[in-house]
Amino acid sequence: MKGSQRASGFTMIEAMVTLAVFAIIAALTVPSMTTWIRNNKVRTVTDSLQTGLRLAQAESLRRSRQVVFSLTNSTTPNFIPLPAVVNGTSWAIWTLPSIAGETPTFIQSGLLSNASANVAVNSNGVSTVCFNSMGRLVANASATVILITGGDTCVQPTAPPTPPVQKFNITTPGADRPLQVNLALGGQVHMCDPSVAISDAHPEGCP
């Protein structure tokens, strides 16, 4: 007579140990996954901001006329007057008339953030920037009169570093990788990590 054979499968103790190990792994993984999701939101908003700024400069060169990039909370950015807002949740690009009686032209708009994304864009007190026909930043005191109400005029950055750049800082609570977009006088757009000083070892850092 053959001896009895043990039935295959997990015992209750083995199942409990497996669940305990799984719970520990999950507890260790969830915080890092949450941080990764928040960092990804910061990167998404940063990419949208870069896209808008680069498009505005490209359109100023292509159309050979002055173009304004504005931050706004407006849900109808293709209508003027466009209310420019410091730290706005979206952006819009318009041409500025070069001669009297010329009508401004809407080019494009994009979303930066909303209540669910919980990502903040700190534009350091600036709501609008203007690109001249050569793609460079230009001051324009009449930009608010022609196109934008509730915001500031287009001004050139003067704060450090040298040469000066217009800074846009993008953050969200719980993220450990804030990002910064620098807009230079020549129209160059550069993304960097404000928590790291730029160097040969850290080219991703900010000046």
Considering the domain boundaries, does residue 174 fall inside one?
yes
Considering the domain boundaries, does residue 146 fall inside one?
yes
pLDDT at 154: 86
Strand ranges for 15-138 from DSSP E: 67-72, 82-83, 90-95, 106-111, 120-122, 128-131, 137-138
Distances in Å between the Cα of 188 and the Cα atoms of 19, 122, 178 are 53, 19, 20
Considering the domain boundaries, does residue 1 fall inside one?
no
Phi, psi of 62 (to 5 degrees): -65, -40
Q: Which domain does 154 fall in, by range?
A: 12-206
User: What CATH number does the domain containing 94 carry?
Assistant: 3.55.40.10
Separation between Cα atoms, residue 111 and residue 88, nearest integer Å: 10
**CB distance 107 to 54 below 8 Å:** no
The structural domain count of the chain equals 1
Spell out the residues 6+ positions from residue 67 whose beta carbon is closer than 8 angstroms to its own: 56, 57, 59, 60, 93, 94, 95, 96, 107, 130, 131
Separation between Cα atoms, residue 39 and residue 77, nearest integer Å: 28
Separation between Cα atoms, residue 144 and residue 11, nearest integer Å: 74
- Cα–chain-centroid distance for residue 124? 14
Considering the domain boundaries, does residue 7 fall inside one?
no
List of the chain residues with pLDDT < 70: 1-10, 14-15, 17, 20-31, 115-116, 143-152
Distances in Å between the Cα of 195 and the Cα atoms of 37, 149, 205 are 19, 34, 7
Considering the domain boundaries, does residue 3 fall inside one?
no
The predicted model scores a pTM of: 0.81
Considering the domain boundaries, does residue 171 fall inside one?
yes
